């Protein structure tokens, strides 16, 4: 809260609304709690969806994501905003060795993600995926994603998002069980029905991955990649706080400099 | 449109773009005479300046840019050179990164964070700060790969 107040006091930011999943702050004025305390235990993709829904229905230009286990520095939003990028994250660190920042590059040979590691202090670099513990996103990124994708319903009822330019032909009604032929997975999908009030799935936990990878891939489809600003350094709280010092100490030991 | 270039780098400018080359130690921009630049490249020459002259240069560069104009700065990576020294792997490139040459001696070496801080103090907004490799050719024709910090910053008053 102190960090948010500092933005209005010494930054150039006007905080429009706080959208929180359960909050100790009274629910009036700017604080908009999206659920009761039970929602704290709901899945992060659901909660991010709900927060996004509120954001897009409002008038704010930017959304700043701050997880309840992440403590950004004072004026983090101002710092991220000055980078001039529409999608930019601060650095918060994995809570286990090698304590790398939660940001990744996609490896071209297999499509898997490798963590950003051994970067110079002060780097501001484009990456392929970032965590959303301290992340600033412009409204236009959500709008571009929504406009450039089609939402289908999968055979199991889950929603599937496909870039418009990858959709050809018609969607048939004949249901069939998923199968694999010649190494290609086939699955029946159908158009999302008009009375289905589920909102556009910007975030999905799938394939054992966190929901932020999913958003980053949607953004990449519309030509927006996240940036990592390593001067905005957060503390990441689990049982113990993890800071940049943990990362630096491990890195120095690993490179024989400590 | 005009581009200013500091340092020995190849620039392929589009037609209609004027490229002007300067020595970093003698840059005296005059907006009334020269107009403003939309891009300034400073490649591998800030270390030639005494430390006390760097801010003065960056402020002049800031004022010589159009609003939304960009400065692109490349400096040898102090972190890389230091690591090479501390792990007993220093080679001629390491010493070049730290000391320059007889013709262009370096007065200082910069980390990414130092360079970024200097640009911010000169009122630039840094939009990119990454590692890069600068290809150098020696007088003997040998090609060298120089690890540099590559920073792109914007004047947006």
Interchain contact A118–B (C-beta under 8 A): no
Reduce the DSSP state of residue B56 to 3 states and report it. Answer: helix
- What is residue A39's DSSP assignment? G
Q: CATH number, domain at B13?
A: 3.40.50.150
Give the DSSP H or E segment for A221. Answer: helix A211-221
Give CA–CA dist B124/B65, Å, rounded: 11
Interchain contact B36–A (C-beta under 8 A): no
- Residue B135, domain extent: 2-154
Q: What whole-number percentage of chain B has pLDDT above 90?
A: 75
Q: Going by DSSP bridges, is the β-strand pair B2-6/A103-106 parallel, antiparallel, or unpaired?
A: unpaired
Model ipTM?
0.89
Give CA–CA dist A30/B110, Å, rounded: 44
Please provide the size of chain B in residues: 157
Give the DSSP H or E segment for B72. Answer: strand B65-76
Question: Averaged over A197-216, what is the pLDDT?
Answer: 89
Q: Going by DSSP bridges, is the β-strand pair B18-22/B2-6 parallel, antiparallel, or unpaired?
A: parallel
Give CA–CA dist A43/B125, Å, rounded: 37
Say if the Cβ atoms of A123 and B154 lie within 8 Å.
no
Give CA–CA dist B74/B9, Å, rounded: 11
Give CA–CA dist A89/B11, Å, rounded: 32
- Looking at the structure of chain B, the number of domains it has is 1
Instruction: Tell me the pTM.
Output: 0.89
Torsion region of A29: left, alpha or beta (phi above 0 gives left; psi -120 to 50 gives alpha): left
Give CA–CA dist B125/B145, Å, rounded: 28
Interchain contact A124–B (C-beta under 8 A): yes
Predicted confidence band of residue A47 (pLDDT cuts 50, 70, 90): confident
Q: Going by DSSP bridges, is the β-strand pair B65-76/B37-43 parallel, antiparallel, or unpaired?
A: parallel
pLDDT value at A231 more than 90: yes
Reduce the DSSP state of residue A93 to 3 states and report it. Answer: strand
B-chain residue closest to A84, CA distance: B127
Q: Is A151 exposed, middle or buried (0-12, 13-18, 19+ CB in 10 A)?
A: middle
- What is residue B44's DSSP assignment? S
Q: B90 is written with which tokens?
A: 């220093």
Residue-wise pLDDT tens digits, A105-146: 999 999 899 999 989 999 999 999 999 999 999 999 999 999
Predicted confidence band of residue A13 (pLDDT cuts 50, 70, 90): confident
Interchain contact A205–B (C-beta under 8 A): no
Torsion of CA A108, A111, A112, A115, to 10 degrees: 40
DSSP H helical ranges for chain A: 2-10, 44-57, 76-82, 139-147, 211-221, 244-254
Q: Measured between beta carbons, which residues in chain A are less than 8 angstroms from residue B86?
A: 257
Give the DSSP H or E segment for B21. Answer: strand B18-22
Q: Measured between beta carbons, which residues in chain A are less than 8 angstroms from residue B114?
A: 122
Interchain contact A83–B (C-beta under 8 A): yes
DSSP H helical ranges for chain B: 31-34, 51-64, 78-86, 92-99, 112-121
Q: Is the dihedral of CA B53, B57, B62, B63 positive or negative?
A: positive
Residue-wise pLDDT tens digits, B65-106: 999 999 999 999 999 999 999 999 999 999 999 999 998 999
For chain A, report the end-to-end CA distance as a whole number of angstroms: 37
Cβ–Cβ pairs < 8 A, chains A and B: 53
């Amino acid at each position: 809260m102190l960090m948010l107040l500092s933005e209005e006091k010494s930054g150039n930011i006007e905080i429009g609304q706080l959208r929180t999943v359960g909050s100790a702050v009274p629910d009036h004025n700017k604080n908009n709690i999206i659920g009761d305390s039970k929602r704290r235990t709901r899945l992060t993709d659901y909660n991010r969806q709900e927060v996004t829904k509120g954001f897009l229905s409002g008038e704010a230009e930017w959304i700043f994501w701050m997880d309840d286990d992440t403590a950004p520095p004072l004026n983090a939003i101002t710092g991220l905003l000055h980078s001039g990028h529409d999608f930019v994250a601060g650095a918060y660190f994995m809570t286990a060795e090698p304590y790398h920042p939660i940001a990744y590059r996609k490896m071209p040979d297999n499509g898997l993600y490798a963590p950003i590691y051994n970067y110079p202090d002060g780097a501001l670099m484009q990456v392929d995926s970032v965590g959303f513990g301290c992340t600033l996103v412009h409204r236009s990124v959500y709008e571009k994603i929504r406009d450039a994708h089609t939402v289908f319903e999968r055979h199991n009822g889950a929603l599937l998002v496909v870039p418009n330019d990858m959709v050809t032909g018609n969607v048939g009604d004949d249901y069939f069980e998923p199968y694999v032929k010649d190494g290609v997975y086939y699955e029946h999908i159908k158009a999302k029905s008009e009375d289905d009030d589920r909102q556009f799935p910007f975030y999905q936990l799938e394939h054992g991955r966190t929901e932020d990878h999913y958003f980053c891939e949607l953004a990449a489809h519309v030509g927006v990649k996240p940036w990592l600003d390593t001067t905005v350094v957060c503390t990441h709280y689990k049982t113990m706080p993890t800071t940049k010092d943990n990362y630096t100490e491990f890195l120095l030991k690993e490179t024989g400099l400590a | 449109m005009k581009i200013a270039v500091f340092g020995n780098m190849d620039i392929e400018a589009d037609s209609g773009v004027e490229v002007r080359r300067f020595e970093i130690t003698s840059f005296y921009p005059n907006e009334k005479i020269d107009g403003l630049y939309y891009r300034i490249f400073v490649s591998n020459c800030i270390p030639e300046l005494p430390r006390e002259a760097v801010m003065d240069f960056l402020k002049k560069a800031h004022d010589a840019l159009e609003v939304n104009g960009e400065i692109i700065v490349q400096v040898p990576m102090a972190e890389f050179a230091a690591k090479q020294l501390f792990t007993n792997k220093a080679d001629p490139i390491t010493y070049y990164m730290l000391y320059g040459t007889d013709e262009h001696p370096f007065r200082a070496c910069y980390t990414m964070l130092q360079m970024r801080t200097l640009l911010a103090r000169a009122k630039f907004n840094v939009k990119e700060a990454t590692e890069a490799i600068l290809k150098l050719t020696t007088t003997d024709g040998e090609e060298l790969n120089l690890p540099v910090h590559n920073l792109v910053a914007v004047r947006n008053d």
